[in-house]
Amino acid sequence: MRTPLIAANWKMNKLVDEAVATVSALKPLVAGAAKAEIVVCPTFTALYAVGKALAGSNVALGAQNCYVKESGAFTGEISPQMLKDTGCAWVIIGHSERRQIFKEADALLNEKLKYALSQGLKVMFCIGETLEERQGGIMNDVLSRQVNLGLAGLAESDFANVAVAYEPVWAIGTGVTASPEQAEEAHAFVRGLVEAQFGAGIAQALRIQYGGSVKPDNAAELIAKPNVDGFLVGGAALKADSFAGIVSAVQ
């Protein structure tokens, strides 16, 4: 049985005080949520303070990106070691906004994934097709490329610390959620890709989150699908009560 993984991706939102206030409100709302693992991923500047505010709670801290070196002349970048220093257990890698806006390619994302894992972070590794790719009939090719290149070279033992987040780009921030059937179809396809590359045991244990306009009122029907193992939530995770509503839909 895969424990659902419910993560908030706050993207480039919230100053430190607001971030701390949001998790302070969230903690009691989700304190009784025993059936899910919960992660909040604030922006870098709020990590340390949010980590302090989350100490002792059932909500873990995550970051939204990292680089592939420990330290050095990499202006503007941040290392897994620095993230761990703030209290992070998790990092998101390969979000479509990193792929599209910041031109991060499969090879770099694979390097980031492997380096973050080697430094003891857990990773939510994002994949997903654009609307053009879906309508052009190449969705499965895109997902295959992202999975096969993205996860290449992982050891069996790495998979205990990896989740894959399927986030169709057309569903992110648009209010258009993938239907439960569309999500299930993509998740089953992705699980099959992982099985082909790494075997059935790893594929069956791997958590595949869905992301893209998840809200309290659509979370229950999505999580009911057998291959949907949690969520990566943007907009609806910015408010404590709506993120808690998503967590409670999974209980």
Asked if 38 is part of the footprint of ligand 13P (rule: CB under 6 A), the reply reads no
Check if 167 is active-site.
yes
40 Cβ contact partners less than 8 Å away, ≥ 6 residues apart: 7, 8, 10, 23, 26, 50, 54, 59, 60, 61, 62, 237
Tell me how far, at minimum, the Cβ of 79 lies from ligand 13P, in Å: 22
Buried b (16+ CB within 10 A) or exposed e, 83-102: bbebbbbbbbbbbbbbbeee
Q: Which of 51, 94, 168, 212 binds ligand 13P (CB under 6 A)?
A: 212
Catalytic position from the list 95, 97, 104, 133: 95
| Partners of 9 in beta bridges | 41
Contact yes or no for 115/165 (Cβ under 8 A):
no
Q: Which of 233, 246, 247, 249 binds ligand 13P (CB under 6 A)?
A: 233
Contact yes or no for 168/140 (Cβ under 8 A):
no
Catalytic position from the list 97, 104, 167, 184: 167
The count of C-alpha atoms lying within 13 angstroms of the C-alpha of 144, restricted to the half-sphere facing its C-beta, is: 5
Asked if 110 is part of the footprint of ligand 13P (rule: CB under 6 A), the reply reads no
Helix (H, G, I), strand (E, B), or coil: what is residue 168? coil
Nearer to ligand 13P, 177 or 227 (CB): 177
Tell me how far, at minimum, the Cβ of 154 lies from ligand 13P, in Å: 21
Tell me how far, at minimum, the Cβ of 196 lies from ligand 13P, in Å: 26
156-175 positions binding ligand 13P, by CB under 6 A: 167, 172-173
Check if 97 is active-site.
no
Asked if 95 is part of the footprint of ligand 13P (rule: CB under 6 A), the reply reads yes
Nearer to ligand 13P, 223 or 232 (CB): 232
Angle between helices 216-223 and 180-198 (to 10 degrees): 50
Helix (H) or strand (E) holding 163: strand 162-166
Q: Which residues bind ligand 13P (CB under 6 A)?
A: 9, 95, 167, 172-173, 211-214, 232-236
Return the active site residues: 95, 167
